Amino acid sequence: MLSIIRERLRQGHRTGKYPQEVPTLPAHFRGRPIIDREKCQGCQECQDLCPFGALALRDGSIQIDLGRCIFCPECAAACPHGALSFSTDHRLAASCRQDLWQGQSEAKLASALNDKMLGLFGRSLKLRVVSTGGCNACEADINVLGTLVYDLGRFGIQFVASPRHADGLIVTGPVTENMRAALLETYAAVPEPKIVIAAGACAINGGPFCHSPEVHNGIGDLLPVDLYIPGCPPHPYTYLDGLLRMLGQL
C-alpha cells in the first residue's frame, strides 16, 4: 500500500488543464488549414489532387470543406505557391454544415444550444455512441476521452450503453446500408428532446468511403445534426472543444 501511495505522489496530477489552458499539440499535428489568398493563383493543382473533392475554387481562391477533408498533407505539398498549410489549431467543430467550409471568411466555431436545451443538458449530457461502419479510429479517440488526461466526466458528459438512457447520439462511420436501420432505430429510442453529433469525416460526408454504393455518405440526409466534429479521426481536444462549445462551457 505504501508503495502505491508513493507512486501516486510521484506521478502527480495527470489531468490536463484544458480549457483553462490552451493545449499544446505536437508540430506534426494537422489542424485547421490556413489559406493565404494573396498567394493562391487559382491553379487548381491542389483541387485536382484531392480524391475526396474537399477543395473547390471559389471567388478566385481555394477553399476547403473540412467535412470532407481527411487532413492528409498532399494538397499542401502540391501547391506550387505555398498558399496552403495546416496549423495545429484543434478547434474545428461547427454547428452548421456550411460553416465547415474554410478559406473565404473567418472560421465559424460551434455555437451553444438554445436556452431550453442548455437548461436540460448544459450540466449533464449522456450520449450513446453509434458506430456505423467506419475504421474504428474515431471510436478509439472517443474512448480516449475517458482517460484521466481528458476526463470527459468532469464536464458532466458521459457515454451510456442504452439509447433509452441517453440524451443524444454521437455517430461515427459513413452509415453502411447494413447499419442504416440500426441507426434510425437507435435514434428513435432516444427520448425527446435529443441531440445528434456527427463525429469524423465519415459521419459528416462519407470520408474515404464517399459515393460507395454501400454507404449513405454520412448522417446528414438521415438525421438532424446539431454538431459536426471534423477529422480523420478528430483529436480528443477537437471533440472536447466542440462538445463544450455546444454546451455553452466555452
User: How much is the mean pLDDT over the chain?
Assistant: 91
Segment holding 61, helix H or strand E: strand 61-65
pLDDT of residue 90: 95
Q: Is the peptide bond before 233 cis (omega within 30 degrees of 0)?
A: yes
CA neighbours within 13 Å on the CB side: how many for 208? 10
- Which stretch of 4-13, 31-40, 134-143, 167-176 has the lowest confidence by average pLDDT? 4-13
Task: Report the DSSP pairing between strands 168-172 and 125-131.
Answer: parallel
All three cell numbers of 160: 451510456
Of 243, 234, 124, 127, the C-alpha closest to 187 is: 127
pLDDT of residue 39: 85
236: confidence class by pLDDT, cuts 50, 70, 90: very high
pLDDT of residue 104: 65
All three cell numbers of 29: 499535428
pLDDT digits (tens, 9 = 90+) for 137-179: 999 999 999 998 999 999 999 999 999 999 999 999 999 999 9
pLDDT of residue 141: 94
Higher pLDDT, 48 or 117: 117
pLDDT surpasses 80 at 14: no
pLDDT surpasses 90 at 95: yes
List 101's β-bridge partners, or say none. Answer: 65
pLDDT digits (tens, 9 = 90+) for 191-222: 999 999 999 999 999 988 888 899 999 998 99
All three cell numbers of 6: 508513493
| Main-chain phi, psi angles of 56, to 5 degrees | -150, 145
pLDDT of residue 105: 66
Return the ∠ at Cα 146 (arms to 89 and 153), rounded to 5°: 95
Of 43, 56, 131, 167, the C-alpha closest to 101 is: 56
Question: 3-state class of 169 per DSSP?
Answer: strand
Task: Report the DSSP pairing between strands 195-199 and 227-229.
Answer: parallel
Across 3-27, average pLDDT: 84
183: confidence class by pLDDT, cuts 50, 70, 90: very high
All three cell numbers of 184: 434510425
Domains and CATH numbers, the chain: 115-246 (3.40.50.12280)
